[in-house]
Amino acid sequence: MKFRVLILGVFVTSMSFQAWSWGQIGHRVTGAIAEHYLTDEAQLAIAKILPHETLAEASTWPDEMRSNPSEFWKKTAGPYHYVTVPDGKIYADVGAPEQGDGFSALQTFAAQLKSNKTSPEQKQLALRFIIHIIGDLHQPFHAGNGTDRGGNDVKLKFFWQDSNLHRVWDSGLIDSQQFSYTEWSAILLAKISEQQAKQWMQLDPNVWIAESAELRAKLYPESDEISWDYQYQNLPIVKKRLQMGGVRIAAYLNALFK
């Protein structure tokens, strides 16, 4: 009986996403871009919750805490980094599973931030997760199709190194440019026009998820060895999703603290 329980536990764990979300650089880029678009009101509110902490720093905290041995981090928070949208469906067709997902967690954390009954510590956790989740939902493979763990099961070689499709999109394409997050942020911010920023300030997570799911379906490579051609074709998508994620983090927080 103990052996069967052990096997079941291993199976359940293997079904979850094993890779990080946008890598640390990607998340920090979205946080740094977001700071550029915050209202004065939002900046003041955020400074009260997270004094002396930038959005770039806060953005990676939910990933950094994954090794915390508490039940919340080991069992509860894992599904908050992604959603599942099968091919041909939209998120509203499937909704959140019983254990929750990025969409449902975002609603919960937003409500906690707005509540006067939430403790300062829980507000910090909620704010950091909101920043992180919005970034995650702009990574196409964090809107997985439910068949390959968001591309984790798609094994391949990226520039002749063993990897998988999820990892390529989390960090491979970003890290291959050898920019720091501050360099990335400066480069991408300079290319966002005022008109684009206004167009991208979409507050509905269903829209972000639909965009990611539509992109995801087109990003599976024909070969299991990818390098320059795949990078050339898809790096512009990475850049745009980082830009959009940053603008929308700001828009979402501006609305919450209005």
Is the predicted pLDDT of residue 135 greater than 70, yes or no?
yes
- We report the CATH number of the domain holding residue 35 as 1.10.575.10
Q: Which amino acid is at 183?
A: E
Q: Which of 191, 179, 186 is nearest to 236 (CA)?
A: 191
pLDDT in tens, 208-256: 999 999 999 999 999 999 999 999 999 999 999 999 999 999 999 999 9
17 and 81 in contact (C-beta within 8 Å)? yes
Give residue 22's pLDDT band: very low, low, confident or very high (50, 70, 90). confident
C-alpha–C-alpha distance, residues 134 and 172, integer Å? 20
- On whether residue 1 sits in a domain, the answer given is no
- On whether residue 6 sits in a domain, the answer given is no
- On whether residue 7 sits in a domain, the answer given is no
Task: Enter the pTM of the model.
Answer: 0.91
Number of domains in the chain: 1
- On whether residue 207 sits in a domain, the answer given is yes
Give residue 154's pLDDT band: very low, low, confident or very high (50, 70, 90). very high
Residue percentage of the chain with pLDDT more than 90: 91
- On whether residue 201 sits in a domain, the answer given is yes
- On whether residue 13 sits in a domain, the answer given is no
Give residue 10's pLDDT band: very low, low, confident or very high (50, 70, 90). very low
Q: Which residue range forms the structural domain that includes residue 123?
A: 20-256
